[in-house]
Structure 1
Amino acid sequence: MEEVALKDLDTRLQKQIENARKAVDKNPSYAVDILINIVSRNVACLEARKILRQAQQRATKGKTKGLGGLLSKVTSIPFSMGSESKIKKDPKKAIDSAEQMLNSNPDNVVGHKILGAAAEALELYSTAVFAYESVRKLEPNNTENIKSLMTVHIKTGNSEEAIRIGEAAYRANPSDDEVQTLIKKASVEQTMEKGKWEEDKSFRDKLKDEDESQKLEQAGRAKTGDAALHSLIEEAKKGVAETPDNMNFYREIAANYRKLGDYDSALEWVAKARELEAGRADVTLERLVGTLKGEKMQKAIAAVEARLEADVENEAAKAELEKLKAEERAFRREQCEDLVQRYPNEYSYRYELGELYFEDGETDLAIKELQMAQRSPKVRVGALILLGKAYLVKGFHDLAAEQLTLAKSEIPGMTDQKKDVLYELGSAYEQQGDMDRAMIEFKALYGADISYRDVAQKIDDFYSSK
């Protein structure tokens, strides 16, 4: 099933939806009554569903707390129990059920989850993104939802957004292998779109013999499991013995040891590859060393976390976990600082380092790196946004507004990144005491997404104070 644009609906429905849109602020219940039936009959029209959600937010404002919130949880139970089987059996019916839950409480996480999964089943991927993004606003640390959102972004070719979301989740929980895998998958998709393979996994473009490349790729696809990976490693080692200067075999061995979780052996073979003439100048191998060391540390963290799950009172394990996490973060920072020192004009490294400094509360160091990072078109917008946030932390509201205004002008459309900028820019003006300019930003955000953070409350408070 394909998504249907509002303009492609029957003109009579378009009129009804437009009337409902106009009624959202003054008579949201009326708007809900109109839209709930239209959305049910036109499940693929995401624009109508978004207007419905705005109306529901307005209609139920203040009614979902306390007893109302409890009742909405209770009414969600029949739909949430066994929801996976119901989605597979009849995804359209599952969407109707989800909408019933959201009609009672638009902040019902279960309802949004069911909507997202059912939309995926119908291949309505934009609707699925809308649902999973709604969950992310309500539960920003819900890792399972973040994985679902990343997966849909990858399916729709929006790899850059998947990577952005995944990297934030990875920083919060570096031991989550699934998030790492999705980031890598998104990176592969992104580079393949540009006509090349992911740099630390593929080597087709480095082979002179195309037949050899195809043979090895087919072997990799045909063999899975630990025994098969060991077999592939042995085959590649024979290749090294026959043609010791062929970088391809070293990469294959290291990649398969990495899949086995044998990071020491993977690092050993990367080191051997770097001893070759072709390997000495290969920056991707250098970066791979850092990646492998990081993954080795994450594996150790995961092992201790598993011990703690089995014995939550294990004080020695708690201390060990804290120590390992501190070491892992220090390693990431050290790696970044080293890369910046050696490649001072590679501004993406400066951006990454600036992020780490900002998260560690070292705002002045973050500002220095981010000011330089914005020279790169690739990370410029992200650097401007983070720089604005850093200035806000220091209380430099005018400087923050300058950076965020620049960022806003460089982001086309209304993306999640643009919403973040509008909110932060509004906050900068608000903290300056310039409520007129603050409301311009908050109103733009409110008009695009009424449920974004506490923007609805800010708008209501502003008009109530008049």
Structure 2
Amino acid sequence: MAGERTDQTAQQAQNFFNKGNAAFERGNFEIAIDLLMQCVSLSPGFSRARKMLRATQIAKFRKEKKSGFSLKLQDVNAAVMRMKIAGLLKAGKTESALIECEKLLAMNPLHSQNVELAVEVAEASGHPEAALFTVEAAYENNPDDMQLLRRVADYYMAVGDYVKARDAYVKLNAYLPNDQVIFKQLKDAEARVTMAAGWEEAAGKKDAYRDLIANKDQAKKLDMQAKAVVAGADADALIDEARARIEQEPNNLNYYRALARLLSQNKRFDEAVEVLESARKVNAADPELDRAITATRISAFEVKIDALKAAGDAEGAAEMETEMNQFIFDDLSARVQRYPNDLKLRYELGMQYFKYGYYDDAIGQFQLSQRSPKERIESLYYLAMCFAHKGQRDMAVMQLETANEQLPIMDDLKKKVVFSLGKLAEEAGDIERAFGYYKDVYGADISFEDISTRMERIYKLRQSQQG
């Protein structure tokens, strides 16, 4: 009888999955979510269904258009639900917490706190695969979020998918080339990929494992690769090995990147750039290679600047810094020409124009970069700053209000936006409006910029006007 009930439950879960999948394909996301929720409630380990549920939650969330008030209300409800889930988790009711997490993610599957809690619950309830694709899904929809990518990389390592872990750490290292922790994790992943390949090759061969264990040279190489910084004879050995790998597999870009990292670590920047330029000949349309080349050249400038400062040559250091800044500007301009649809590059170029006071040029770039979900709010903020510098206060306010409506939580970015709205209102003489904006920031963070001073001044102005 128990076996029959199990079979019936499995069949019911499959039926809910099939119906949910069909509803998703028709674009009926709410119905699909209800059906898939019933599916995973019956069968918590049905990974495919949970993955489909996550995709549906994200599709529904992206399709919805909510007002600022609705978003605030949703945020309050989500906070209450997170407290409820935390209570269930503390009480050891992990399966119930897992179900409630799906309801929470149906509200906002990309909110960082929702994602973190869902991951914690999935781990506690013995569903690591659910934790992994929750983070994966969030990252896929925020591909520039390095924190999410880091979580993805760490999960790949935890579940033993070392190839994917290595690829994720490669991308992290390209964005954060000076982060030694990431570099160490990358080397560890690469070493594990190498070891796994060796064991696979040995599988099925009598006594082949003895050759692997006895291969002390290979063990030494893996030990060297795992070091955060490799120098001296160790570096020379790994560099020679990396060059040999490139000769054997000239189309494997990961080998070029690994060699360039080793060379950069040892301050052989010109050689590192040459290697990356060779990689670009293999794939000329890889913007990450361009980023790596830029980062390497900037590192070379920084080393020279530090050396000049250490030698007491302040004037030489200043000249070199000017040269570096010019390079950064020219390089960004050139990359925007090569990748005109890369909105992150548009944003970065806009920041360069803004930095040097070319506000019209900056506006042009920010108006393009605001189309990117990742850069949208920052682009709107800096658009507002450009208009403010040009004396076009009404245009600045319009950009900031648009940004404010799209920020449901009083995080650092929202504080910056609301604070700027307050400043513009104060400059326009609208004391009550300024007070309202300042009060919101003050209530969230009393130490933000000079908000305390401004609040005191506004209070006095209001009192004098009322008196």
Report the TM-score range of the alignment, normalised by the length of the smaller protein. Answer: 0.5 to 0.7
Matched, 1:343 2:321: no
Tell me which residue corresponds to 2:404: 408
Is the 1:358–1:366 Cα contact (8 Å) retained in structure 2? yes
Tell me which residue corresponds to 1:258: 264
Tell me which residue corresponds to 2:196: 211
Tell me which residue corresponds to 2:391: 395
For the structure 1 residues 190 and 331, does the alpha-carbon distance in structure 2 shift closer, same or farther, using more than 3 Å as the test? farther
Matched, 1:296 2:270: no
For the structure 1 residues 235 and 373, does the alpha-carbon distance in structure 2 shift closer, same or farther, using more than 3 Å as the test? same
CA distance in 2, matches of 1:387, 1:393: 10
- What letter corresponds to residue 428 of structure 1 in structure 2? L
Matched, 1:306 2:310: yes
Q: CA shift at 1:273, angstroms?
A: 2.5
Tell me which residue corresponds to 1:226: 231
CA distance in 1, matches of 2:284, 2:244: 23
CA distance in 2, matches of 1:245, 1:388: 45
Is the 1:187–1:198 Cα contact (8 Å) retained in structure 2? no
CA distance in 2, matches of 1:208, 1:342: 34
Q: CA shift at 1:449, angstroms?
A: 1.9
Tell me which residue corresponds to 2:352: 356
Q: CA shift at 1:249, angstroms?
A: 2.9
The structure number with the bigger radius of gyration is: 2
CA distance in 2, matches of 1:294, 1:438: 42
- What letter corresponds to residue 462 of structure 1 in structure 2? I
CA distance in 2, matches of 1:362, 1:187: 34
For the structure 1 residues 375 and 355, does the alpha-carbon distance in structure 2 shift closer, same or farther, using more than 3 Å as the test? same
Q: CA shift at 1:188, angstroms?
A: 6.4
Is the 1:401–1:425 Cα contact (8 Å) retained in structure 2? yes
C-alpha distance after superposition, 1:267-310 (max 9, x if no partner) = 1222233333xx334332232222211211111111111112xx
CA distance in 1, matches of 2:439, 2:385: 20
- What letter corresponds to residue 220 of structure 1 in structure 2? Q
CA distance in 2, matches of 1:194, 1:404: 37
Is the 1:191–1:197 Cα contact (8 Å) retained in structure 2? no
Matched, 1:236 2:242: yes
Q: CA shift at 1:259, angstroms?
A: 1.0
Is the 1:398–1:428 Cα contact (8 Å) retained in structure 2? no
CA distance in 1, matches of 2:261, 2:194: 20
- What letter corresponds to residue 198 of structure 1 in structure 2? V
Matched, 1:197 2:203: no
Tell me which residue corresponds to 1:268: 274
For the structure 1 residues 293 and 212, does the alpha-carbon distance in structure 2 shift closer, same or farther, using more than 3 Å as the test? farther
Q: How does 1:314-325 map to 2 (within 5 A)?
A: 317-325=313-321
Root-mean-square deviation (CA, aligned residues, Å) is 3.5
CA distance in 1, matches of 2:365, 2:409: 28
CA distance in 2, matches of 1:441, 1:213: 62
For the structure 1 residues 268 and 187, does the alpha-carbon distance in structure 2 shift closer, same or farther, using more than 3 Å as the test? farther
CA distance in 2, matches of 1:251, 1:422: 42
Is the 1:354–1:370 Cα contact (8 Å) retained in structure 2? yes
Is the 1:223–1:229 Cα contact (8 Å) retained in structure 2? no
Query: Which has the larger displacement, 191-200 or 329-338?
Result: 191-200
CA distance in 2, matches of 1:379, 1:218: 40
Is the 2:230–2:262 Cα contact (8 Å) retained in structure 1? no
- What letter corresponds to residue 284 of structure 2 in structure 1? R
Q: Which runs of 5+ in 1 are unaligned?
A: 1-156, 158-182, 309-316
- What letter corresponds to residue 437 of structure 2 in structure 1? E
CA distance in 2, matches of 1:400, 1:217: 55
Matched, 1:448 2:444: yes
For the structure 1 residues 414 and 198, does the alpha-carbon distance in structure 2 shift closer, same or farther, using more than 3 Å as the test? farther
C-alpha distance after superposition, 1:326-370 (max 9, x if no partner) = 111111111111122222221111111111111111111111111
- What letter corresponds to residue 450 of structure 1 in structure 2? I
For the structure 1 residues 388 and 211, does the alpha-carbon distance in structure 2 shift closer, same or farther, using more than 3 Å as the test? same
Is the 2:336–2:345 Cα contact (8 Å) retained in structure 1? yes
Q: Which runs of 5+ in 2 are unaligned?
A: 1-134, 136-143, 157-167, 175-185, 200-217
Is the 2:230–2:265 Cα contact (8 Å) retained in structure 1? no
**Pairs aligned (count):** 276
Identity over aligned pairs, percent: 29
Matched, 1:284 2:288: yes
Matched, 1:461 2:457: yes
- What letter corresponds to residue 428 of structure 2 in structure 1? Q
- What letter corresponds to residue 150 of structure 2 in structure 1? E
CA distance in 2, matches of 1:320, 1:231: 36
- What letter corresponds to residue 336 of structure 1 in structure 2? L
For the structure 1 residues 291 and 187, does the alpha-carbon distance in structure 2 shift closer, same or farther, using more than 3 Å as the test? farther
Tell me which residue corresponds to 1:432: 428
CA distance in 2, matches of 1:382, 1:213: 47
- What letter corresponds to residue 269 of structure 2 in structure 1? Y
CA distance in 2, matches of 1:344, 1:334: 15
Q: CA shift at 1:238, angstroms?
A: 2.8
For the structure 1 residues 257 and 440, does the alpha-carbon distance in structure 2 shift closer, same or farther, using more than 3 Å as the test? same
For the structure 1 residues 190 and 297, does the alpha-carbon distance in structure 2 shift closer, same or farther, using more than 3 Å as the test? farther
CA distance in 2, matches of 1:190, 1:301: 35
CA distance in 1, matches of 2:445, 2:352: 30
Query: Which has the larger displacement, 249-258 or 222-231?
Result: 222-231
C-alpha distance after superposition, 1:171-219 (max 9, x if no partner) = xxxxxxxxxxxx99969626737973332556989x9988359988765
CA distance in 1, matches of 2:365, 2:303: 30
